[in-house]
Chains A and B, each alone.
Chain A
Amino acid sequence: MTSARPFRLATAAAVALSLAACSGGGEAVDMGDGAGDASGSSSTQGGTLVAAIAGEPDNLDPHVTTAYFSFQVLENVYDTLVEPDVNLEMQPALAESWETSEDQLTWTFTLRDGVTWHDGSDFTADDVVYSYTRIMEEQLSPSWRFSSVESVTAVDEQTVEIAVSEPSPNLLANIGGYKGVAIVQRANVEAGDINTRPVGTGPFELTDYTPGSSITLTANPNWYGGAPAVDGVEFRFISEPTTAVAALRSGEVHWTDNVPPQQVAALAEDSDVELGQVGSNDYWYLALNQQHEPFDQVEVRQAIAYAIDREGITEATMFGNATVNQTAIPEASSWYTDYSTYDFDPDQAVSLLEQAGVDPADIPMNIMVSSDYPETVQAAQIIASQLGDIGIEAEITTLDFGAWLDEQGQGNFDMLMMGWLGNIDPDDFYYSQHHSEGANNYQGYSNPEVDELLDQGRVETDEAARKAIYDQVSTQIADDASYIYLYNPDVVQAWVPGLEGYEAMPNRAIRFREASLP
């Protein structure tokens, strides 16, 4: 009897660890953050708003974490110099105003007066210098956003000067796009408390953290934007969607974003629940490896773009909770470019392949997707069948996200599917993915014309001219099928009827500063 014991033990260890093999760090994707321009709520009832989020923050140091769960909480604790509004345009936050020098190489920010940290000490220009220097010198997660920044200096207590190496029209998006670039407190960092007890300047102060269970925030009556309407917010970590929705319907929680797409239609009919649904700036795409034949031929890539039925993919993967798109950014964004060349047309696909002199049966087609992003796996099955209709025999390789990233990095793929999240400024996502020098141009796209446009867009300070540049860029990228864009998923959140002053944001920022309870 006893000799069997080590095996039982091994079984338990295997159970625990087999989880490791099949699930991944899917949440650890850089997400942008928020908007919110609502006028002050008149409610004075207070109370604690209970929000169910789908997982526990890994680390509450905004400069270190990359997990969305962390940013859901931190959005309410920290401030940035500027922040995106509901249209993702940058608005004053800790900085009241700013101006740029004639040569566009110096930005001067005037800070808001009378802002204090949650511990009561004064917020000054030194805090801004400290935060940005910390990100750059310690090469923390958002350091790539400061690539054009030469120096950050405090001119006086209320003035900060940022010197850049070249005109940087996207500087505001880079230093305010999400709370990863929040202004943190030096004393909090040096005490080693920032990862569990962050001290911010934001609308709520973090007052309690029960590991595995919840984080409690208390309203900051001294916040520069005015005291929040609720007394506090409790974030509960509920990873199982069925449980989260049950908790919402039973009144245990007031708000959740852990809503499975297949339940959205039913919840929309449910009078116990109010549904918030808004198009996001996230995009999901296919990329063909242009370093492999025959994907170096533009006709072959275009043929595949024509062979794919985006509506069918969206219906099956997102249950329709997404908007199909043939470029990166959705219509609601100011950077949107109207483009509809590749409407579903298998005949056109076949004739393009003939034109290229490529026999569809000879096309090697391995679609690389990740189990950590189930939508990619579902989409791949549909795409494979659609490609089968034009004679391309597709196989699907499903990898754990870590392995997927490795293969992508080494260029070992024919076609891959992935999403890019938290998009605000086109320089960020177009340059990185489509410039021949771009850090994330794994597909090996190189078009000198696009490179030149991307270089111009990076430094063009006239807004209209810049928009025109990116219109050209996005059209050319789509024409060349460097990426085959698929859709922009919806942000879906649910809350109890009567919760006022809260709005679902296109960049998934969760802002409870104006929210009031029924």
Chain B
Amino acid sequence: MRYVLNRVLQSVVVLFGVTVVVFLIVQLVPGDPIRIGMGTRFDPEVYEALRRASGLDRPPLEQYLSYVGRALTGDLGVSFRSGQPVSHLIVARLPATVSLAVVGIVIALLVSFPLGILSAVRNGSVLDSVVRAASQLGVSLPNFWLGMLLILLFSSTLGWLPPSGYTPLTEDPVEWLRRVIMPGITVGVVAGSILTRYVRSSVLETLSMDHVRTARSKGLPGRIILLRHVVRNALVPVITVTGTQIAAILGGVIVVEVVFAWPGLGLLVYDAVRARDFPLLQGAVLLIAVVFLIVNLLVDLLYAKVDPRIELGGGDG
């Protein structure tokens, strides 16, 4: 319990740090959003009026404090390009990103566990070499490039799948699947490749451990050994990496969403950056950070569940 409390407290501190960093970076980004919004035609009076209206004429510290104060009550401010509440804009984008991330993670897990285990068990075989080469390729592929290749192949050339757009799952599950499959693969392949390598090395390591040799010498069937003694133990480090990958997917969807015109949080961040919409950008990054922290917290708690030694030693971790 003390471990749980400790981790939650840590997360809160990190979250506070995030608000400072996000606010500071936004302040340091070159380019005055109001000036850019006006384009090449400049009128000083209009400029001053817009600046006052946006609150950007106030001192940075004052801007920060009022921002954090309001954020605590769930008010993330108003987008200064669209004039709408940031929280509404973000909430509207969540379902698309969540469905893309979930599909990506499912694909990554479905690919990495069987391949990683198989590759470790048949260490040195042709299959092992193929899996290792393929996962190396998957790790190295930039995801926007993979996305474009998929579009060129399955949309432009074969005409099997729509190249872009999103249909909510609740509206039309078939159409949702047709549209989520390419971005989902794009997100899943990179994460899956990294995970495959972790699963493989973790299983390999466990295979050489004493208790596995003991189990073997007891004459237990290979499948039982694999499931009961190897995979369970190999899982511990893999969980952490999976957690990291879930978090990485959240960052990765920014680019993938732009390529597939997927109306999620990533596209929102991209547009907010292009438009220098600071309140929107701050809100979106803050939310991504919160999700990030929650995922990591859950991973740590799960980790402690799988391996009780962690909770005993917990305190610094």
Binding site for B on A (CB under 8 A): 1-3, 5-6, 8-13, 15-17, 19-21, 23-30, 55-56, 58-59, 61, 64, 66-67, 138-141, 143-144, 195-196, 210-214, 236-240, 242-247, 249-250, 252, 399-403, 405-406, 409, 418-421, 432, 439-440
Contacts and interface: CB of A to CB of B under 8 A. Distances in A.
A18 to B, nearest CB: 9
Interface string B15-40: 00110011001100111110111111
19 contacts: A5-B14, A8-B296, A9-B18, A9-B289, A9-B293, A17-B22, A20-B29, A24-B274, A27-B274, A30-B39, A61-B83, A139-B46, A143-B45, A210-B263, A239-B261, A240-B260, A243-B260, A402-B31, A440-B41
Contacts of A5: 14, 296
B164 interface: yes
Given A17-B26, A20-B25, A30 B285 contact: no
Contact of B258 (A12, A16, A24, A239): A239
A212 B94 CA distance: 11
A309 to B, nearest CB: 25
Contacts of A439: 41-43
A15 B254 contact: yes
Contacts of A140: 46
A12 B259 contact: no
Contacts of A240: 148, 258-261
Interface in B265-280: 267-271, 273-277
Nearest to B265: A212
A16 B251 contact: yes
Leading 9 A-B pairs by shortest Cβ distance: A402-B31, A212-B263, A213-B263, A58-B81, A25-B36, A29-B39, A246-B163, A238-B261, A2-B317
B99 to A, nearest CB: 13
A58 B82 contact: yes
A430 B251 CA distance: 46
Nearest to B13: A6
Interface in B24-80: 25-26, 29-33, 35-43, 45-46, 49
A143 B26 CA distance: 30
B273 A23 contact: yes
Given A66-B37, A144-B46, 11 more contacts: A1-B240, A2-B7, A6-B14, A9-B289, A13-B288, A16-B288, A17-B281, A20-B25, A242-B148, A405-B31, A421-B40
B156 interface: yes
Given A141-B46, A212-B96, A401-B31, A420 B40 contact: yes
B201 interface: no
Nearest to B314: A2
B165 A213 contact: yes
Given A239-B258, A250-B156, A12 B31 contact: no
B263 A59 contact: no
A440 B43 CA distance: 9
Contacts of B274: 23-27, 55
Contacts of A409: 42
A19 B162 contact: no
B247 to A, nearest CB: 6
B166 interface: yes
B151 interface: yes
B19 to A, nearest CB: 11
A247 B159 CA distance: 10
Interface in B72-107: 81-84, 89, 92-93, 96
Given A16-B285, A138-B49, A409-B42, A25 B33 contact: yes
B128 interface: no
Given A59-B83, A236-B164, A1 B317 contact: yes
B10 to A, nearest CB: 8
Contacts, number: 234
B264 interface: yes
Given A58-B81, A236-B165, A212 B264 contact: yes
B233 interface: no
Given A20-B281, A252-B163, A401-B36, A12 B46 contact: no
A512 B83 CA distance: 28
A413 B22 CA distance: 32
Contacts of A399: 30
B152 interface: yes
A3 B317 contact: yes
A185 B49 CA distance: 23
A24 to B, nearest CB: 6
A11 B96 CA distance: 23
Contacts of B285: 13, 16-17
Contacts of B31: 24-25, 400-403, 405
Interface in B225-272: 240, 244, 247-248, 250-251, 254, 258-261, 263-264, 267-271
B204 to A, nearest CB: 20
A384 to B, nearest CB: 23
A58 B89 CA distance: 12
Contacts of A212: 92-93, 96, 263-264, 267-268, 271
Residue of A9, A16, A246 most packed against chain B (CB within 10 A): A16
B71 to A, nearest CB: 16
A111 to B, nearest CB: 28
Residue of B46, B159, B165 most packed against chain A (CB within 10 A): B165
Contacts of A244: 164
B84 A196 contact: yes
Given A13-B289, A139-B49, A195-B82, A403 B155 contact: no
Contacts of A28: 36-39, 275
Contact of B251 (A15, A141, A419): A15
A11 B285 CA distance: 12
A236 B36 CA distance: 24
